[in-house]
Amino acid sequence: MKISQLLDEIKKHDLVLPEFQREYVWSREQAKQLFVSLVKGYPVGGLLFWKTDDPPELKNLDKVPEKFGTIQIILDGQQRLTTLYMLLTGEIPPYYTEKDITIDPRDLYFNIGKGEFQYYQASRMKGNPLWWRVIDCFNSSKINVFEIAKQVTENEQDAFHYAQLYNDNLTKLRQVKEMELPVQVVPVKATIDEAIDIFDRVNSQGTKLTDAELALTHITAKWPRARQKLKAKIEDLSSRNFFFDLTFMTRALTVTVTHRALFEHVHKSPSDELLAGWKRLTKILDYLVTILPDRAKIHSTEDVNTTNAFIPLIAYLSLNDTHFSDDTSINQAIHWLYAALMWSRYTAQTDQRLEQDISLVIRYSSPWLALRERIVDQRGRIEVKAGDLDGRGAQHPLYRMTFILAKAHGAVDWFNGAPLGTTHGKPYHIHSHHIFPVSILYKNGFDSENHLHRKIVNEIANRAFLTSTTNQSLSNTHPEKYLPLVEEKYPGALAKQFIPEDPLLWKIDRYEDFLQARRELIARKINEYMDTLISRSEDLQEKSVAELVTLGESATLEFKSTLQWDINRNHLNKNLRFSVLKTIAAFLNSEGGILVIGIEDNGSVLGLQYDLKTVKKHSLDGFEQLLSTLICERIGAEYAPLINIHFEKIDGKDVCVVYVEKAPQPVFMTSPQGKKFYIRHSNTTRALDPEQMHHYIQLNWE
């Protein structure tokens, strides 16, 4: 079916959207790439409709007029159709209202000379006769290619050539309306349950590429040997007891090349950047697997609960000549690494937290304190307490930290004296030994069928680290019998694994007292060891705003051209204020960040000169007063202490820099549509629906 016909059916309500469909969620980049594909003649997928005379609830329609008869419900393809409708007609499709469209792609422009698409940038497009809104290309008769050609050349022959080129590009774009999109139709006999089942199958089933697989596909398209190279390096590192997969290696390459954590950012990286990044990454990985066993007592990836914690280290080393500059830097990095592992920094919201943390690595020359503060914001503290070990088993991150700590204290096997801080063959592979054997505990008051009893029997405080041969030989021996023999043969061996010194605690009837004493020992030793790694006189060296601008937007850095001056229409537009306020609210609800007003999306410095015309006294003081008032009115005066506004000059132009800290409680912004809850996701600001908001607040505050 022709696109023009599809849009006409949407306009006449012959093609409608069911309420069970999600809202319009495409990014502006997705909208742009749809048009790139259409103009190039690439396939953009088919559409799935359902013909019915008994439709379900419809978006923006209270009831179905009788004249409809059999109508068509959009089951799959509404993101594409909505995009096409907005960019070909300039209007919102009737199944939505203006307030439903939170991401509006209608300022997409088309260059009639190069045939390329880009969103409006004043510095690049203002006054340039070759850039036209896509909407105007379909609906305006003002585009006179001959007049435009005369503006770019005085030679009549060249003007004719350019006019022909411009006309050809316009024709290619306008032909989009006449393109056919394949349509499949669910017959009218289908019930609503069957239609929704089909909808679910189309939208959720099938084997889809993961983000990492898709990124690697893009990488391999430009660097054909990428997959083989990554696999070869995985094999090399596994021979040194560090076991990674393609997902980790793709993420590591992404962050090395782009200084971003999300896989999507590597899609457009050219081959020379990929090869240069890979060269750096191989050096970084070789360096890490050399330094981690010695300095961090991490001898294998089996010593960590997630390899994602290595990603910020890789980002830092990529920016710092692939190695740490001195012992202080190493110790600070290791301290943060331990904290991130112990407190599960990346076991939930992995992409979001990695993106946030990488932005801190980029922002600060020594990012470790800032990164640790994020963990404190997430967990409340880094210090370990005895209660944190209560009931925790071998799957808890503190178990691996206890093993690392034992190795750092020079722990040895209790019966063969082999040091635990080295790599052992299979017969001497490290086992988790129950100090009070399980069989004895279950014969003395503990029930194997009781969940709480099993937790107490198997918790970290009842674990020691021994080679497999020794572990098997002690399987049914009371600790009050074998622990004295261990201390006699290897003096100090028990203390190196934090065994309480009082022999009375080694008796079976004192088991729970033993656990409490050992929890306290482990917690204290972890904190003491962590304290030795860092000094309290740590100092952050922050990059200048001019340097930050060159890095581009991220989870904690956002640019806004203006506060309330509409560059496109060249007049005051108070609605633009909400774009700034949404970003500030999102930073408060996320990990904090920096908003720079006076910078365009592409990093061009616009300055505040347009906004200053609209404020009292046309001064920076007037600008700051207005912004502060808006924050107090729309976000809340109680959050003002978390927001620092000041001004800097870049290239001789004033810009406003707003530093925002994470709020201690959820923050809501008052908008014309009511209270809204915003967060940062990658380099964008998103409003959450009630269910998403509830889940987010539980994860981040409750």
- Site of tokens 């054997």: 437
Neighbours of 220 (CB within 10 A): 15
pLDDT band at 351 (very low <50, low <70, confident <90, very high): very high
Please check whether residues 613 and 561 belong to one and the same domain: yes
- Better-scored residue on pLDDT, 541 or 170: 170
pLDDT band at 65 (very low <50, low <70, confident <90, very high): low
User: For residues 605 and 123, is the Cβ–Cβ distance under 8 A?
Assistant: no
SS3 33: helix
Residue range(s) defining the domain that contains residue 191 = 3-204
Please check whether residues 447 and 559 belong to one and the same domain: no
Sign of the C-alpha dihedral computed for residues 104, 106, 109 and 112 taken in this order: positive
Model pLDDT, residue 541 = 41
pLDDT at 319 over 80: yes
pLDDT at 197 over 80: no
Please state, in angstroms and rounded to a whole number, the distance separating the CA atoms of residues 496 and 516.
18
Please check whether residues 414 and 560 belong to one and the same domain: no
- Better-scored residue on pLDDT, 356 or 208: 356
Please check whether residues 447 and 311 belong to one and the same domain: no
**Beta partners for residue 58, in sequence order:** 18, 61
Q: Is 587 within the bounds of a domain?
A: yes
Q: Is 241 within the bounds of a domain?
A: yes
CA 112 to each of CA 3, 131, 140, 604, 645: distance values in angstroms, whole numbers, following the listed order = 22, 7, 14, 23, 41
H helix intervals, 175-270: 192-204, 211-222, 226-238, 246-258
Q: Is 225 within the bounds of a domain?
A: yes
pLDDT at 256 over 50: yes
Phi and psi at 670, nearest 5°, equal: -85, 115
| Burial of 456 (C-beta count, 10 Å sphere; 0-12/13-18/19+) | middle
Model pLDDT, residue 473 = 57
pLDDT band at 325 (very low <50, low <70, confident <90, very high): confident
CA atoms within 13 A on the CB side of 142: 11
pLDDT at 7 over 90: yes
Q: Is 540 within the bounds of a domain?
A: no
Please state, in angstroms and rounded to a whole number, the distance separating the CA atoms of residues 383 and 343.
10
Model confidence pLDDT, tens digit, residues 512-529: 999 999 999 999 999 988
Mean pLDDT, the chain, whole residue set: 88
Secondary structure letter of residue 398 according to DSSP: H
pLDDT at 122 over 50: yes
CATH number at residue 552: 3.30.950.30
Please check whether residues 619 and 654 belong to one and the same domain: yes
- What is the end-to-end Cα distance of the chain in Å, rounded? 51
Domain boundary at 382, 411, 433, which?
Answer: 382
Model pLDDT, residue 682 = 60
Domain boundary at 533, 564, 579, which?
Answer: 533
CA 599 to each of CA 137, 376, 657, 692: distance values in angstroms, whole numbers, following the listed order = 28, 32, 10, 31
Phi and psi at 346, nearest 5°, equal: -120, 25
pLDDT band at 536 (very low <50, low <70, confident <90, very high): very low
Q: Is 179 within the bounds of a domain?
A: yes
Please check whether residues 491 and 561 belong to one and the same domain: no
Please state, in angstroms and rounded to a whole number, the distance separating the CA atoms of residues 364 and 372.
13
Secondary structure letter of residue 2 according to DSSP: B
pLDDT at 423 over 80: no
Least confident of 262-271, 373-382, 469-478: 469-478
Q: Is 368 within the bounds of a domain?
A: yes
Q: Is 58 within the bounds of a domain?
A: yes
Please state, in angstroms and rounded to a whole number, the distance separating the CA atoms of residues 587 and 594.
8
Q: Is 245 within the bounds of a domain?
A: yes
H helix intervals, 292-408: 310-319, 327-342, 350-363, 368-379, 397-408
Model pLDDT, residue 208 = 53
pLDDT band at 702 (very low <50, low <70, confident <90, very high): low
Please check whether residues 195 and 282 belong to one and the same domain: no
User: For residues 394 and 463, is the Cβ–Cβ distance under 8 A?
Assistant: yes
| Domains held by the chain: number | 4
pLDDT at 128 over 90: yes
CA atoms within 13 A on the CB side of 554: 30
Please check whether residues 614 and 686 belong to one and the same domain: yes
pLDDT band at 475 (very low <50, low <70, confident <90, very high): low
Domain boundary at 498, 533, 568, which?
Answer: 533
pLDDT at 676 over 80: yes
pLDDT at 224 over 80: no
Q: Over pLDDT 90: what percentage of the chain? A: 63
Average pLDDT over residues 632-645: 92
Average pLDDT over residues 662-677: 92
Please check whether residues 358 and 393 belong to one and the same domain: no
β-pairing, 131-133 vs 108-111, is antiparallel
Please check whether residues 219 and 340 belong to one and the same domain: yes
Model pLDDT, residue 375 = 93
Model confidence pLDDT, tens digit, residues 563-583: 999 998 999 999 999 999 999
Average pLDDT over residues 531-553: 64
Please check whether residues 363 and 399 belong to one and the same domain: no
Please check whether residues 675 and 550 belong to one and the same domain: yes
Model pLDDT, residue 405 = 93
pLDDT at 650 over 70: yes
β-pairing, 674-676 vs 678-681, is unpaired
Average pLDDT over residues 124-145: 90
Model pLDDT, residue 531 = 86
Please state, in angstroms and rounded to a whole number, the distance separating the CA atoms of residues 348 and 344.
8
User: For residues 479 and 435, is the Cβ–Cβ distance under 8 A?
Assistant: yes
pLDDT at 530 over 80: yes
